[in-house]
Amino acid sequence: MTAQRGDDSVNATQTAGRRSPAPGRGGAVGLAIAALGVVFGDIGTSPLYALQTVFSIDGGIVRPTQPDVLGVVSLMFWSPTIVVSIKYVTILMRADNNGEGGVMALAALAQRLYASRLGRTTFLLIIGIVGVSLFYGDSVITPAMSVLSAVEGLNVAVPGIGHLAVPIAALILTALFVVQRFGTGKVGRLFGPVMILWFTVLAVAGISGIVRRPSVLLGLSPTYAVAFVVAHPVIAFVAMGAVVLVITGAEALYADMGHFGRPAIRRAWFFVVFPALMLNYLGQAALVLQDPAARANPFFLLLPGWSRLPVVVLATAATVIASQAVISGAFSLSRQATQLGLLPPLTVRQTSEEERGQVYLPAVNTLLFIGVLAVTILFGSSARLATAYGVSVTGALVVDTVLLLIVARVLWGWKAWQIALAAVVFGSLELTFLSANLSKILHGGWVPLLLALAVITVMTTWRRGRQLVADRRKGKEGSLADFVEYVREQQVPRVPGIAVFPHPHKGTTPLALRANVEHNRVLHEHVIIVSVQTTNVPHVPWDKAFTHDDLGYSDDGIEHLNIRIGFSDTPNIPRALRRACVSDAIGVEAKDMARASYFLSRGPVRTTRSRTMAQWRKKLFVALANNAANPAARFQLPRRRTVTMGTDVEI
């Protein structure tokens, strides 16, 4: 028996060989510019609506007076400072899962760190599921909110056509989702320069406002935030529900770390994004102090009249980029969830030969489009959408903090007082944000919560149903070791050729293999049982990917190959088998694999009256299974050399 083994602790250097290079690796500046175009689209477009929303909540309870305005500006400065600059950029980005970030990668990292200590770490996976579900809610709200807020600039630039904001936004969003199938490779090269122009406009416009009212700089002091909260605790609490809009997109900083790395994102944030955002918020606040009526739309009213229409076009481009980043994130997250067994197999199309992360999932794209268009029409304005926006964002922030506190103790050896301090600093602020937004549930906040609940239901149902199916199949499949002995004892006739049987593990016999022997009374000369194991790391290098087992006999042509892949890798069995041949992990020539036949074990799932799971969940699982991607497509098996065989499975 020979074996090549790897473990989940594959380091980032080893996995780099499997990961496609991030754009602009030629230099640090180029990489930072590329990060500007993808990572910061969401948080970078928040000046369009954040301050405006603060002054519009509850009929304008936040007044355009100096204490209120400076208090709000202070909150808008210190919130991203604590949550984004300190928590995400300085601390959380160090908690990478072999170079990858995001709530799914963080949950997988926590599972790996605590696997030997707790045995079962299901609760960590549940936390990750909640975070992912909230991200999907954000993925529906963000495109509608961002594009609507930009197009609504027509109300200021060209008032005569302002009433067409919703139809125009709907057309832009439709076009955005239609072009997803073509990938973002070529368009992505334009993202960085467009966002540089956008942040330049933000900074210049902000400086012009500050020059007219320099006293607004006093708002950078935390004392004004404290004074605002102490003087008007109820008003400040309500305002926090809108102030949170300045940190929307913070999750993207962490989630996109695998594409650009920590240094590029940190440079872009501290040297470009953060200064430009704060200058613009200060400029808008100065304008409100100077002209209280400007609080109706301080972003566009801060601009000279001649520039407003061009900036509407630029803002629309920036919000499309922000939307694209969220949509692409939903694609990547869905693929990771599929790999981890939380979603049914989905059709995944690679849209770039160079960039591994550029994928297109038709089913996810369709569902997102329906959801985005529905909320755009249902809410009809960015001001109304803002009430629904914060719930998913703040929920995701809290989930990341919980996982951070769990990981920090083992990963960095934090002491109890350090964990307590982080919990107080980050947790208290984010829980305040969350509480303030929960008060808006009846005014639109129910939308992301309903979406998150739907996703949680789907994920938990699929995970449970998948386990039930696996348990039922074990009885029909029987022991693989016993089957090998049977083949040897009965001297089953062999025919020339290679037969490949994808199967979850080597403990039981693939149904297609058993059916082939029982009905056809023959077996191929060379039989390879292949198991694809998704690990808790994003990528696994080829030299760590294969574990071979001759199943006790080296002369019978029946062997098992375990292929380990990362949760961000595409499961391609034919390609993996060719690499296994080259590395001598299996006893077959690579050229012979071109003629191999593939046999899938697949049968219909039928429900029974058993109480293993609620009937409605059983029906949901069957519906998901019937609409799941064909395993042949998922494993990229050759269509003309693939046969499907199986039997009914009851749950």
Whichever domain contains 440, its CATH number is 1.20.1740.10
Asked which of 414, 444, 474 is the last residue of a domain, the reply is 444
What's the pLDDT score for residue 15?
A: 34
Q: Are residues 503 and 607 in the same domain?
A: yes
Higher pLDDT, 527 or 122: 527
Q: Are residues 387 and 340 in the same domain?
A: yes
Q: Are residues 620 and 572 in the same domain?
A: yes
Question: What's the mean pLDDT when you consider all of the chain?
Answer: 83
**Lowest-pLDDT range of 15-24, 312-321, 529-538, 582-591:** 15-24
Q: Are strands 546-549 and 597-601 parallel, antiparallel or unpaired?
A: unpaired
Q: Are residues 119 and 81 in the same domain?
A: yes
Residue 642 main-chain phi, psi, to 5 deg = -120, 130
Taking the CB of residue 302, how many other CB atoms lie within 10 A of it?
25
Averaged pLDDT for residues 242-249: 87
The secondary structure of residue 21, as a DSSP letter, is P
Measured distance CA(57)–CA(49) in Å, rounded: 12
**Lowest-pLDDT range of 109-113, 478-482, 521-525, 571-575:** 109-113
Q: Model confidence at 121, in pLDDT bands (50, 70, 90)?
A: low
Averaged pLDDT for residues 609-616: 86
Averaged pLDDT for residues 161-171: 84
Q: Are residues 253 and 328 in the same domain?
A: yes
Q: Are residues 86 and 23 in the same domain?
A: yes
Asked which of 409, 444, 479 is the last residue of a domain, the reply is 444
- DSSP states of 512-548: HHHHHHHHH--EEEEEEEEEEEE-SSS---GGGTEEE
Q: Are residues 536 and 633 in the same domain?
A: yes
Q: Model confidence at 129, in pLDDT bands (50, 70, 90)?
A: confident
Whether residue 216 is predicted with pLDDT greater than 60 in this model: the reply is yes
What's the pLDDT score for residue 259?
A: 65
Return the structure tokens found at 628.
Answer: 């799941």
Return the structure tokens found at 171.
Answer: 């057309």
**Lowest-pLDDT range of 24-38, 168-182, 241-255, 407-421:** 24-38
Q: Are residues 591 and 491 in the same domain?
A: yes
Whether residue 375 is predicted with pLDDT greater than 50 in this model: the reply is yes
Higher pLDDT, 461 or 11: 461
Averaged pLDDT for residues 141-159: 81
Whether residue 335 is predicted with pLDDT greater than 90 in this model: the reply is no
Q: Model confidence at 476, in pLDDT bands (50, 70, 90)?
A: confident
Whether residue 452 is predicted with pLDDT greater than 70 in this model: the reply is yes
- Any bridge partners for residue 100, and if so which? 97
What's the pLDDT score for residue 276?
A: 96
Residues with Cβ within 8 Å of 341's Cβ and at least 6 positions away in sequence, in order, are: 462, 463, 466, 534
Residue 208 in domain: yes
Q: Are residues 210 and 310 in the same domain?
A: yes
Range of the domain at 502: 465-650
Q: Model confidence at 141, in pLDDT bands (50, 70, 90)?
A: confident
Q: Do residues 17 and 541 make contact, with C-beta atoms less than 8 angstroms apart?
A: yes
Q: Are residues 527 and 480 in the same domain?
A: yes
Taking the CB of residue 183, how many other CB atoms lie within 10 A of it?
18
What's the pLDDT score for residue 2?
A: 37
Percent of the chain with pLDDT over 70: 90
Whether residue 539 is predicted with pLDDT greater than 90 in this model: the reply is no
Side-chain half-sphere CA neighbours of 244 within 13 A: 28
**Lowest-pLDDT range of 80-89, 238-247, 275-284:** 238-247
Whether residue 529 is predicted with pLDDT greater than 60 in this model: the reply is yes
Residue 223 in domain: yes
Q: H/E element holding 599?
A: strand 597-601
What's the pLDDT score for residue 11?
A: 38
Higher pLDDT, 605 or 84: 84
Q: Are residues 362 and 440 in the same domain?
A: yes
Whether residue 139 is predicted with pLDDT greater than 70 in this model: the reply is yes
The amino acid that residue 585 corresponds to is A
Residue 522 in domain: yes
pLDDT tens digits for range 416-438: 999 999 999 999 999 999 888 88
Distances (CA, A) of 38 to 142, 202, 571: 14, 18, 26
Residue 1 in domain: no
Averaged pLDDT for residues 279-291: 95
Residue 460 in domain: no
What's the pLDDT score for residue 162?
A: 67
Whether residue 535 is predicted with pLDDT greater than 70 in this model: the reply is yes
What's the pLDDT score for residue 59?
A: 75
Residue 506 in domain: yes
What's the pLDDT score for residue 208?
A: 94
What's the pLDDT score for residue 74?
A: 96
Whether residue 612 is predicted with pLDDT greater than 90 in this model: the reply is no
Asked which of 444, 477, 510 is the last residue of a domain, the reply is 444
Residue 149 in domain: yes
Taking the CB of residue 430, how many other CB atoms lie within 10 A of it?
26
Residue 622 in domain: yes
Q: Are residues 601 and 569 in the same domain?
A: yes
**Lowest-pLDDT range of 379-383, 514-518, 544-548, 640-644:** 379-383
Domain total of the chain: 2
